[in-house]
Amino acid sequence: MTTYVLIPGACHGAWCFDDLAAALRDRGHQVLALTLTGVAERAHLAHAGVNLDTHITDVLAALAVEPDAEDLVLVGHSYGGMVITGVADRIPEKVDALVYLDALVPYDGESCWHLVNDEERQWYVNVDHTGYGVPPLPFFDPRATAHPLASLLQPIRLTGDLNRFRRRDFVYALNWPGDSPLRLCYERVKGDPNWTVHELGGRHNLMRDNPDDLLRILLDAGRR
């Protein structure tokens, strides 16, 4: 049995993984899918101080009370790549592998702002009436809510290298509507022999657009 920890991207809740989580559980695995502070069904907790550290702490706190939180496969979609990188850096002894689903792969001192393209940055600063909420894009799930701006601007602080983990997978979505804001991260890892890189047909929401291939990749990443 493998324990998968699923972290959603900006504006989304754990529900974006419902079908994927069910498929993993049907195959005998344990799944922990989390909604981050200030987003989706936890939108009532949003305030100007919710940042990347808040979201990393969300995951660490959830794992602290899980009795079988060992040999974890951390899976981050989009912004969730920032979160799983921070979590893995803080509890490396508990992490076996990381899977970046069309996600950000930061180095120490980088933020989402550093890693994406100008179009994505313009979205970040087009905040809602609160002054700190980044509204969901039109093609997002209808359940999506605003995302805390500070989490997209805060640089991550890392003490170690991702190569210390057994396996790192990057899954790149080929059918973005326009230039992919994840291109820099994809190009960062695609020629690195320490990474397993996949290119999948589908838009950014690969959980919806290519669930079968995505399930196969996760099952393979979890095999030790």
Q: Name all domains of the chain by residue range, CATH numbers in brackets.
A: 3-173+183-201+210-221 (3.40.50.1820)
pLDDT at 177 over 90: no
| Per-residue pLDDT, 224 | 83
3-state secondary structure at position 96: strand
Active site residue 111: no
3-state secondary structure at position 91: coil
Residue reference for tokens 């900006």: 10
pLDDT at 51 over 90: yes
- Give CA–CA dist 2/109, Å, rounded: 31
| Per-residue pLDDT, 67 | 85
3-state secondary structure at position 71: coil
pLDDT in tens, 96-121: 999 999 999 999 999 999 999 999 99
| Per-residue pLDDT, 134 | 98
pLDDT band per the 50, 70, 90 thresholds, residue 139: confident
The residue annotated as part of the active site, out of 78, 111, 151, 180, is: 78
pLDDT at 70 over 90: yes
| Per-residue pLDDT, 68 | 82
Q: What is the mean pLDDT of residues 150-165?
A: 96
Query: Nearest 5°: phi and psi at 153?
Result: -105, -20
| Per-residue pLDDT, 37 | 98
Share of the chain above pLDDT 90, in %: 96
In the DSSP assignment, the letter for residue 197 is: E
